[in-house]
Chains A and B, each alone.
Chain A
Amino acid sequence: MMADAGNDSLEELLLKWEDRSISSEELKRLTSLLVEVGARTRLSAQFRFEAELAQAWQSAKWRDQSREQAERYQTMELAEAEGLTVAPGHGAIKTKIEPWGGRLFSPSRWRPWKWILPAGGLAIGLLFAYVGHRQSLGFARVMVGARGITIVRGEQAIGEVPDGFALRSKDRIQLADDGQATLFYLEENTQVQLRGPAQLELRETREGKNLRLHRGSLTARVAPQPADRPMILWTPQAELTVLGTEFTLSVVSNATRLDVIEGALRMACLEDGKEIKVHDGYFAVVSPGLKFAEQRQLPEPWNCQNVGLASRPGHAVVEGRQCRISSWGHQRNRFRPNFNYVYRTLEGDGEIRARVLDFDSRDKWTKAGVVIREDLKSGSPTAFLSVKAGRGLEFWSWSKKSNRSDQAGEEEFPYWVRLVRRGDTITAYKSPDGVEWIETGSDQFEMGPKIYVGLGVTAFNPKASNTAVFDNIGVLSATNPVAVSLFEQPRQLDVP
């Protein structure tokens, strides 16, 4: 079974390379061996096997942990079904005294392992049969931090839902007004964030994942699904086919709205069977009397794009009178201009103003505010007046000649911010009410007549998005003195 000395030499040297204990002489020897095609094939095979082994080991460990958790819950449920009660959080079983089973079940003969082992074994056996099947379904589980949640299983309502709770097909998740929950699937990177008030029903079948959103709102990031087993989402008005994408779905009274963040989805109207494809940056609404078609999430002439580095594309959507902008961070974000930018062009002098209303995280590196740039390239001169998710305001200006970041106040959001361009000077203002403005700083920029004005949201954490909410967004132009908001029709305003 062991290979000869020459073959061992290559694999041993590769192991030392992996271990970083290879000497320079050994590395030379390894390199000289790789002149042969056969040796390179063995190197490829070894690299692949290493990656597979690491992944398989981690997956097995993760499944073991999940199985233990599931076993604990299934043990509790099996015990309850047998007329036994379980002390929560302990796994110890107390018995009811039954006449026919008196001798076995009497407390004096009670041995917990007699019940836990068979029940656990049965649970493990069921789980192996279920999980080990090649076409096995990923279990959906409730993530940490769920609140205001009730799970209805058959006729039972489960109010105490701990972290990692295993869901089943036909479970109904109900969220109170301020409730929230995140569902994730064990065997793939699919997450569903649910916001209350909401009602979601899970129906897992061998044909794929099926979710029914009766009411409420969810945002889902769905890992690529097999083409013959897509995820299907139903609402009272529409059916969506999901192959792998990120989107938000909302159901209110008699309307379903879909916003696609990344990828694309097929959406069908249940009433007439009409089907459309909705792409990222677009939304569609199914509701009686409304045109069922793909529409831009941002009204013309506004656009959205990432500036600089981001682990994933950001997203922006207009909701009523507010604009919600999400940004994904990058570890190298700290000292470079990196943000998700919602912008439009402006000719000549003018200004952009907005109120930073809210953040969904208190990450100190998350900032949101107004931005003026010369163009959309990463090295473009930029002025950015921002409110921090933690506390305080910052005026940051970047050009070929300078890179400054100045504290502009200690205020917290919600707060108003404004940037005004006059020739080569950009001045920053802040306000508690949008009426009284206080100058906080200014800088010189050599920009052409055409500039880009808009809203920016930064983030640092590459593994989670940060979202900021803006309202009262307005753009004023000196050459064409008409205020243009993100939402309103143009109207006359005096330029200060």
Chain B
Amino acid sequence: MSERATHVTAQFLADRHRLMSFIEGLLRDSAVSEDVFQEVWLKLARTLEKGIEIQDQGKWCRKVAKNLILQHWRERRNSKIVVDSTLLEFVDFVDRAFDENAALHDYRPERQQALSECLKVLPEKSKTLIALKYEQGCSLEYIGRKVEQSTDSVIKALLRLRQALAICVQKKLKLQELGL
């Protein structure tokens, strides 16, 4: 493999978490997200073959992903997503957000470890909510019916849960930092 190819590949691998966060955050479908992720890599590989230089590889990959995502939405017949000017503006803002906060998406295994530990100590009701949302991919309305709460209550419960987990993770990382 040439030096340039090694460099491009290494950078792509280093950016992969960020790119996948971007793709999954918009698509919310892990199978399609993987397709798009692979397609971005293939396009990057082809560009590499042609010897085309890319200034900002992360931004380029997100741009390609964005176009693929929009194409996916346009091609889907029963989609709840309508590709209009508002959606395009929203997607652009998401792209900007990732651009401005690149370091936020770097993979940190200590965060992942801390989050795993925080999940273990959640009460059963909270674990049920998480399982329904993140394991089974249920809608908020379905979750509401399942736990016999209104959709608004489920939304508030999930937001409180996320906040609690975020604080838990922060505390654990702080303790680690202090060597405790």
Task: With A27-B86, A27-B90, A280-B1 as known contacts, state yes or no: A1 contacts B162, CB within 8 Å.
Answer: no
Instruction: Report A370-381 CB contacts with B as 1/0, cut-off 8 Å.
Output: 000000000000
Within 8 Å of chain B (Cβ to Cβ): is A15? yes
Determine if A479 is an interface residue (Cβ-Cβ < 8 Å). Answer: no
* B140: interface (CB < 8 Å): yes
Give bound CA distance, A52 to B135, whole Å.
13
Q: If the complex has contacts A27-B90, A31-B89, A41-B97, are A12 and B21 also in contact, measured as CB distance less than 8 A?
A: no
Per-residue CB proximity of B58-74 to A under 8 Å, as 1/0?
A: 00000000000000000
- Residue A335 at the chain B interface, CB threshold 8 Å: no
A55 touches B112 (CB 8 A): yes
Residues of B within 8 A of A54 (CB): 134
- Whether the pair B115, A31 counts as a contact (CB closer than 8 A) is no
Distance between Cα atoms of A48 and B164 in the complex (Å): 16
Which residue on B lies nearest to A33, using beta carbons?
B93
Question: Which applies to chain B's interface (DSSP): helix, strand, loop or mixed?
Answer: helix
Verify B134–A51 contact, CB threshold 8 A: no
For the complex formed, measure the closest distance between the CB of B172 and the CB atoms of chain A, giving whole angstroms: 12
Q: Which of A58-66, A109-117, A316-324 contacts B (4 or more CB under 8 A)?
A: A58-66
Does A309 sit within 8 A of B, measured CB to CB?
yes
Q: Do A60 and B100 have beta carbons less than 8 Å apart? A: no
By a CB distance below 8 angstroms, the chain A residues around B159 are 8, 11-12, 15
Q: Are B104 and A48 in contact (CB under 8 A)?
A: yes
Considering residues B96, B113, B159, B163, which has the most beta carbons from chain A within 10 angstroms of its beta carbon?
B159
A264: Cβ under 8 A from any B Cβ = yes
Question: Measured between C-beta atoms, what is the minimum distance from B173 to chain A in Å?
Answer: 13
Given known contacts A12-B159, A57-B134, A34 and B1 CB-to-CB distance under 8 angstroms: no
List the B side residues contacting A309 at CB < 8 Å: 42
The answer, yes or no, to whether B8 is at the interface (CB within 8 Å) is: no
Which residue on B lies nearest to A18, using beta carbons? B28
- Out of A20, A31, A53, name the residue touching B165 (CB < 8 Å): A53
- Decide if A134 is an interface residue (CB 8 Å cutoff): yes
Flag if B115 contacts A40 (CB, 8 Å). no
| B97 contacts A21, C-beta separation under 8 Å | no
- A52: which of B87, B112, B120, B163 is its contact (CB, 8 Å)? B112
| Chain B CB within 8 A of A130 CB | no
Q: Tell me how far the C-beta of A25 lies from the nearest C-beta in chain B, rounded to whole angstroms.
A: 10
Contact indicator B113/A41 (Cβ below 8 Å): no
In the complex, A21 Cα to B13 Cα: how many Å?
33
Chain A positions 209 through 224: 1 when the CB is less than 8 Å from some CB of chain B, otherwise 0: 0000000000000001
Query: Once the chains are docked, how many angstroms separate the CA of A224 from the CA of B9?
Result: 12
Size of A's binding interface in residues, CB under 8 A = 52
Q: In B144-171, which residues have CB < 8 Å from any A CB?
A: 151, 155, 158-160, 162-166
- Contacts known (A44-B101, A52-B112, A309-B42); A21 close to B140, Cβ less than 8 A: yes
With A15-B140, A51-B25 known as contacts, the answer to whether A40 contacts B86 (CB < 8 A) is no
Contact with B along A1-31 (1 / 0, CB 8 A): 1110000100110011011110010011011
Least Cβ distance of A222 to chain B in Å?
A: 14
The residue that B86 contacts in the complex, of A28, A47, A60, A264, with Cβ under 8 A, is A28
- Residue B15, interface by CB 8 Å: no
Complex CA gap A35/B105 in Å reads 21
For residue A97, CB closer than 8 A to chain B, the reply is no
Within 8 Å of chain A (Cβ to Cβ): is B54?
no
Nearest B residue (CB) for A264: B1
Query: Is the Cβ of B104 less than 8 Å from the Cβ of A60?
Result: no
Contact status A12-B155, CB under 8 Å: yes
B115 to chain A, nearest CB (A): 4
Q: How far is the CA of A49 from the CA of B22 in the complex (A)?
A: 12
What is the chain B residue whose CB lies nearest that of A35? Answer: B93
Q: Which A285-311 residues have C-beta < 8 A from chain B?
A: 309-311
A27 to B97, CA, bound (A): 16
Task: Please pick, from A1, A30, A52, the residue contacting B115 in the complex, using a CB distance under 8 A.
Answer: A52
B113 neighbours in A (Cβ, 8 Å): 134
Chain B residues with Cβ below 8 Å from A134 are 110, 113
B111: which of A35, A43, A52 is its contact (CB, 8 Å)? A52
Chain A residues 244 to 286 lying within 8 A of chain B, measured CB to CB, are: 263-264, 279-280
Inter-chain contact A37/B119, CB cutoff 8 Å:
no
Contact of A48 among B1, B81, B105, B160 (CB under 8 A): B105
Give the shortest distance, in Å, between B103 (CB) and chain A (any CB): 10
In the complex, chain B residues whose CB is within 8 Å of the CB of A279? 1
Q: Are A47 and B130 closer than 8 Å at their CB atoms?
A: no
B144 to chain A, nearest CB (A): 11
Given contacts A44-B97, A224-B13, A264-B1, contact A20 B28 (CB under 8 A): yes
Point out the residue from B98, B131, B160 that lies within 8 Å of A2, measured CB to CB: B160
Is the Cβ of A44 less than 8 Å from the Cβ of B38? no
**A-contact 0/1 string along B119-140, CB 8 Å cutoff:** 1100000000011001100011
Residue A462 interfacial (CB < 8 Å)? yes
| A43 and B94 contacting across the interface, CB-CB below 8 Å | yes
17 A-B pairs whose Cβ atoms sit less than 8 Å apart in the complex: A1-B160, A1-B164, A20-B80, A21-B139, A34-B94, A37-B100, A43-B97, A44-B100, A44-B104, A48-B104, A50-B25, A51-B17, A51-B24, A52-B111, A53-B165, A57-B134, A279-B1
Interface residues of B (CB under 8 A from A): 1, 13, 17, 20-22, 24-25, 28, 35, 38, 42, 80-82, 84, 86-87, 89-90, 93-94, 96-98, 100-101, 104-105, 110-113, 115-116, 119-120, 130-131, 134-135, 139-141, 151, 155, 158-160, 162-166
* 5 tightest A-B CB contacts, nearest first: A47-B25, A40-B97, A34-B93, A44-B101, A56-B115
